Amino acid sequence: MNSTQDQLFADKCRRLHTYLLGTKALLREIGEYNRTKWPVHYPLTRLAQNPPQSYPAQGAPLRRSNSMLSPEAASEAAEPQGLRRAQTAEDILDSNASSSDDWRLLDPSDLSVLRLDLRLSNHGGSDVMGSLEQSSIARLFDERLTQCEGHVDKLIARVADRSSKILVTGDLNAGKSTLVNALVGRDILPSDQQPCTMLFCEVLDASLNGDVEEIHAVPSIDLYDRQNPATFVAVPMRDLEDIVMDNEEQFQQLKIYTRDSRTGEKASLLHNGVVNVALIDSPGLNRDSLKTTQLFARQEEIDVVVFVVNAENHFTLSGQDFLLNAGNEKAHIFIVVNRFDAIRRKDRCERMILDQIRHLSPLTYAEREDL
């Protein structure tokens, strides 16, 4: 990347940072208005139009199934039914007005960011927004605004950070560690037919650690500070395989600072003079649900997702769940098909994998030739 492209990149980052700060200020302003001045009116969706089905028809008289009174006494005690107006012009106008107000109702997709998910299983999936008090809706809306503000804060931090994080993920034994080693140009991570990566392993350039090749075993990702040795345990590079295999309960992540000796056209991917790239190798998605949940929770800090799929197994259920979840944050996902050379009917395998990608990540499929 030349100086002109670098300047364009920096300008875009500044503009995006400004827009995010403006969005955060707007969220705070709406929240303050909602809390202190007047509860924000939350629109109803078309799903709330379904009328109750269990109520009796309006105006139907109540009937007593049994009585201790004689028929004569019951007849005398019964009150005469009042006159009823079958229909008036006013009723017709009200009905027309009700149908003409349909445009005021929103489709659920119109509130993809500020939507309040209020569905109860015993209501048959119908929206219960219309049955809540305004104060309850205002309180739920305020909580939703707080969540959105937290998400914007994470985006601001990512824009301000000149590093780029690439997550390499997939199922067990899909070849994730092998791909990371190929991208770095060195056999850093252990690779075997048995599952090797039990921890999140983040591979970074050694220049970020005083040009010292070293492993930082991190008990808490949120508390990690490279300048503070109390927040990590320094481990020699030769002990990487042992710590990856045997310390998943003690540490949350490994920070692996390494050098890349490639020069010229094959310059370092991790330190290319523009951005510092971090490659994150993850445990297998189908290993256990806890690691998978942790992986889902880290989507917001990831810039690029590379999904490694075994050509022999295609996408497992856990892989499909991950891709659907990642699609909420990332429009495009890089798919790497491993062991494709071992497949006899390559055309059939390619067709089946592309068909799965078309359903799991439509934009990735649509622009597959350019990714």
Q: What is the pLDDT of residue 347?
A: 92
Please report which confidence band the pLDDT of residue 97 belongs to, taking 50, 70 and 90 as the band edges. very low
| Segment 84-95 mean pLDDT | 50
Contact (Cβ atoms closer than 8 angstroms) between residue 274 and residue 303: no
Residues 186 and 42 in one domain: no
Calculate what percentage of the chain has a pLDDT beyond 70. Answer: 68
What is the pLDDT at residue 292? 60
Any domain includes 77: no
Q: Is residue 73 part of a domain?
A: no
Structural domain including 22 reads: 1-47+114-160
Both tokens of 50, joined, read 């379904």
More confident position, 370 or 292: 370
Q: Name the token pair of 74.
A: 């019951």
pLDDT on residue 306 = 93
pLDDT at 102 over 60: no
Mark which of 132, 160, 188 sits at the end of a domain: 160
In total, how many domains does the chain have?
2
**Structure confidence by residue, pLDDT tens digits, 282-332:** 888 876 655 665 665 566 678 889 999 989 888 888 888 888 888 777 878
pLDDT band at 125 (very low <50, low <70, confident <90, very high): very low
Domain-ending residue, one of 160, 195, 222? 160
Average pLDDT over residues 236-244: 85
Predicted confidence at residue 27, as pLDDT, reads 93
Mean pLDDT of 235-250: 82
Does the residue 125 lie in any domain?
Answer: yes
Instruction: Determine the average pLDDT of the residues in 246-257.
Output: 84
Q: pLDDT at position 79, please?
A: 52
What is the average per-residue pLDDT within 110-135? 61
Do residue 249 and residue 304 come from a single domain? yes
Q: What is the 3-state secondary structure (H, E, C) of the chain?
A: CCHHHHHHHHHHHHHHHHHHHHHHHHHHHHHHHHHHCCCCCCCCEHHHHCCCCCCCCCCCCCCCCCCCCCHHHHHHHCCCCCCCCCCCHHHHHHHHHHHHHHHHCECHHHHCCCCCCCECHHHCCCECHHHCCHHHHHHHHHHHHHHHHHHHHHHHHHHHCCEEEEEEEECCCCCHHHHHHHHHCCCCCCCCCCCCCCCEEEEEEHHHHCCCCEEEEECCCCCCCCCCHHHCEEECHHHHHHHHHHCCCCCCEEEEEECCCCCHHHCCCCECCCCEEEEEECCCCCCCHHHHHHHHHCHHHCCEEEEEEECCCCCCHHHHHHHHHHCCCCCCCEEEEECHHHCCCHHHHHHHHHHHHHHHCHHHHHCCCCC
Q: Say yes or no: 146 and 168 in one domain.
A: no
Which pLDDT belongs to residue 109?
A: 57
pLDDT of residue 157: 85
Are 170 and 308 in a shared domain?
yes
Is residue 357 within 8 A of residue 363, CB to CB? The reply is no
Asked whether residue 120 falls in the same domain as residue 146, the answer is yes
Q: What is the pLDDT of residues 20-67, one digit of tens each?
A: 999 999 999 999 988 888 887 777 665 444 444 444 444 444 444 444
Show which of 137, 160, 183 is a domain's final residue: 160
What does the pLDDT read at residue 74? 44
Q: Once rounded to an integer, what is the mean pLDDT over residues 208-232?
A: 92
> Residue with structure tokens 């107000």?
101
Q: Per-residue b/e over 199-212, b at no fewer than 16 CB within 10 Å?
A: bbbbbbbbebbeee
Is residue 32 domain-shared with residue 177, that is, in the same domain? no
Answer yes or no: do 259 and 224 share one domain. yes
Q: Does 246 share its domain with 360?
A: yes
Closest C-alpha to 104, from 81, 76, 130: 130
pLDDT, residue 52, reads: 46
271 and 335 share one domain: yes
Mean predicted confidence (pLDDT) in 245-252:
78
In the predicted structure, residue 194 carries a pLDDT above the cut 90: no
Q: How confident is the model at residue 69 (pLDDT cuts 50, 70, 90)?
A: very low
Q: Give the pLDDT score at 55.
A: 44
Percent of the chain residues topping a pLDDT of 90:
23
Residue 309 pLDDT: 93
The residue count for the chain: 371
Q: Is residue 60 part of a domain?
A: no
- Would you state the pLDDT for residue 25? 95
Residue 281 lies in a domain: yes
Determine the pLDDT at residue 295: 63
pLDDT value at residue 294:
60
Q: What is the mean pLDDT of the chain?
A: 76
The CATH code of the domain that includes 356 is 3.40.50.300
Whether 242 and 156 share a structural domain? no
Distance CA 272, CA 170 (A): 26
| Same domain as 192, residue 140 | no
Q: Are residues 287 and 333 in the same domain?
A: yes
pLDDT recorded at residue 301: 73
In Å, how far are 14, 198, 207, 353 from 277, measured between CA atoms? 20, 22, 12, 29
